[in-house]
Amino acid sequence: MLDVAYAWDRLAMPRSLRHFEAKWADRANPHSFSGVWRFHELLPFAPREQCVTVGEGQTLLHPSEGVGKYVGLRPGRLYLQYEGMNPSGSFKDNGMSAAFTHARMTGATRAACASTGNTSASLALYCSVTRLMKAVIFVGSGKIAYGKLSQALDFGALTVQIAGDFDDAMARVQEVSRQLGIYLVNSVNPFRLEGQKTIMYRVLEGLRWEVPDWIVVPGGNLGNSSAFGKAFRELHELGLIPRVPRLAVINAAGANTLYRLVEQEGLRWNHGAPSESLIRKFYDDMNAEKRRAKTIASAIEINRPVNLQKCLRALEVCNGVVREVSDQDILDAKAQVGAGGLGCEPASAASVAGARLLVSEGVIGRDDRVVCVLTGHQLKDPDATVAYHTTDQELFNKVLGSRGVRRAAFANRAVAVSNNLDEIVKAIHLYG
């Protein structure tokens, strides 16, 4: 694993985060418009004019009363950082703009990733828009939501479906990239994480540069959580924020490596030397038991997170906690997010379900200011949404029942009516 480190003392640094407000008035310049590159001073690994942008990062920090109430917070305390508004519909574009910038510096002509769907959609989009490289993507067979697969196909990426899951695809793509000299854009790539730091800069921007009490984020390959920890550590060291928020990383219960290692086995960053024997034993047991990740939140259906160590560092920096939530809780939280006006995909709702759990435990206080990161757009996985709201028991069982989901407490059922004016009017009176 590599890390990007800057000689900050040799760079001209802003004295205050308000410095970045000057970029708002310069939106005709693509590098000021980009939600990543308008913070260029905080990820200055390439000259600004050479940075790749397709207009990523036009996101929203949305205060949500409805979701706040569901989570158990007092009014005005919950915010949703809506990353689904990115060009490819997920937070991945933040990191992809940075990875493409670095790839261009190296002269790469092909880029690859393994993906549960969003990284591949993002890679494919950046390739098709910029024409800088050709995309090769590895996906687990039958493992990715159709919204995401359709993007990769539409954008023209070479799509390799591996007979296996994400963890298999991740292992293979590293071998293939090494053998063929292809530029790898998974979050093992440290430049990806540089781009993803900006999600937190935009959260601060949305709070007028005030630091929230909690950041809650789903955990899959652990790139985001690692990037967030790095962002806050650097801002604090640079004297640009007075304190660091706490971080909560939320696993799906069916893909809970981080939860088990940190909360049950006591694995810690330990000054950069986390217990390798503990990690090795965990994976040996996983192999022996043939344990595979399984969750409706397919984006985080990952048992071997490549950024495990960096995430441990982030948890240390941010006094973090890890929790696991069931698929049932994820889908109920997702329905609440949807009812609140901004939809998300299942994995993203793990953050809301996790925040709710932490409030019920008293770890997050009801007066705390909490930001849940909604990592991907509602339309990424319409199957899960339709199956949740359906009256068709067979569909429900097929898509959700097989994941242990038993009920849809917040289902908004479609009303079936005959094609008859009186019946339709009657139904509207009855249900409206």
Smallest distance from ligand F0G to CB 293, Å: 11
Residue number with CB closer to ligand F0G (192 or 369): 192
Residue number with CB closer to ligand F0G (34 or 257): 257
> Any idea what the Cα angle at residue 169 is, between residues 163 and 172, rounded to 5°?
110
Residue number with CB closer to ligand F0G (17 or 96): 96
Q: What share of the chain is helix, strand, coil (3-state, %, to 5)?
A: 50, 15, 35
Residue number with CB closer to ligand F0G (17 or 167): 167
Smallest distance from ligand F0G to CB 248, Å: 13
What is the distance of C-alpha 40 from the center of its chain? 21
SS3 314: helix
Phi and psi for 26 in degrees, rounded to 5? -120, 40
Smallest distance from ligand F0G to CB 334, Å: 12
Residue number with CB closer to ligand F0G (17 or 252): 252
Nearest CA-CA partner of 82 in 382, 369, 343: 343
The dihedral over CA atoms of 389, 392, 397, 403, expressed in degrees to the nearest 10, equals -10
Smallest distance from ligand F0G to CB 383, Å: 15
Residue number with CB closer to ligand F0G (123 or 240): 123
Q: Is the distance from CB of 335 to CB of 328 less than 8 angstroms?
A: no
Binding site for ligand F0G (CB under 6 A): 90, 92, 115-119, 187, 218-224, 299-300, 345, 347-348, 375-376
Q: Parallel, antiparallel, or unpaired: how do β-strands 246-252 and 214-218 relate? A: parallel
Question: Rounded distance, CA 243 to CA 205, Å?
Answer: 15
H/E stretch holding 15: none
Smallest distance from ligand F0G to CB 365, Å: 25
Token digits for 394?
A: 């067979």
Q: Is the distance from CB of 36 to CB of 42 less than 8 angstroms?
A: no
Smallest distance from ligand F0G to CB 19, Å: 28
Cα–Cα distance list, 219 to 24, 184, 252, 414 (Å)? 32, 21, 8, 33
Q: Which residue has the tokens 């937190």?
A: 200
Smallest distance from ligand F0G to CB 10, Å: 30
Nearest CA-CA partner of 103 in 48, 184, 24: 184
Token digits for 408?
A: 């849809």
Q: Judge residue 63's burial from the number of C-beta atoms within 10 Å of its C-beta, 0-12 exposed, 13-18 middle, 19 or more buried.
A: middle
Q: Is the distance from CB of 345 to CB of 381 less than 8 angstroms?
A: yes
Residue number with CB closer to ligand F0G (115 or 159): 115
Smallest distance from ligand F0G to CB 220, Å: 3
Q: Is the distance from CB of 249 to CB of 222 less than 8 angstroms?
A: yes
Residue number with CB closer to ligand F0G (151 or 328): 151
H/E stretch holding 175: helix 166-180
Residue number with CB closer to ligand F0G (240 or 251): 251
Smallest distance from ligand F0G to CB 92, Å: 6
Residue number with CB closer to ligand F0G (35 or 223): 223
Smallest distance from ligand F0G to CB 426, Å: 41
SS3 72: coil
Q: Is the distance from CB of 351 to CB of 325 less than 8 angstroms?
A: no
**Which DSSP string do the residues of 7-39 spell out, in sequence order?**
-GGGS---SSGGGGGGGGGGTTSHHHHSTTGGG
SS3 361: coil
Smallest distance from ligand F0G to CB 263, Å: 17
Residue number with CB closer to ligand F0G (115 or 326): 115
H/E stretch holding 234: helix 223-237
